[in-house]
Amino acid sequence: MLFKEAVSQRVFELCDRYNYTPNKLAELSAIPPSTLRALLANQVENPSATVIFKICKTLKIELKDFYNSKLFDMNKLEY
């Protein structure tokens, strides 16, 4: 799996877990909706650390919790 795909899937997982729509997450985290849409559509080659930080801040989770997923198994990720 590509890293950008893992990030996208993780954001979808977290939206489901915390009962947010992607639009609501974008609104509350001050991420432009077009930016979040592009990230979720795997159109962002290098997801910004700032965007991931804003998502974590909005969901009230630590960065380590964002990456604490089998999606980020280094043996299965590609770039």
User: Can you give the pLDDT at residue 16?
Assistant: 97
Q: Which pTM value belongs to this model?
A: 0.93
User: Can you give the pLDDT at residue 79?
Assistant: 87
Q: What is the 3-state secondary structure of the chain?
A: CEHHHHHHHHHHHHHHHHCCCHHHHHHHHCCCHHHHHHHHCCCCCCCCHHHHHHHHHHHCCCHHHHHCCHHHCCCCCEC
66 residue type, one letter: F
Looking at the structure, give the CATH architecture of the domain made up of residues 3-65.
Orthogonal Bundle (1.10)
Ordered per-residue pLDDT tens for the chain, 79 residues: 999 999 999 999 999 999 999 999 999 999 999 999 999 999 999 999 999 999 999 999 999 999 999 999 999 999 8
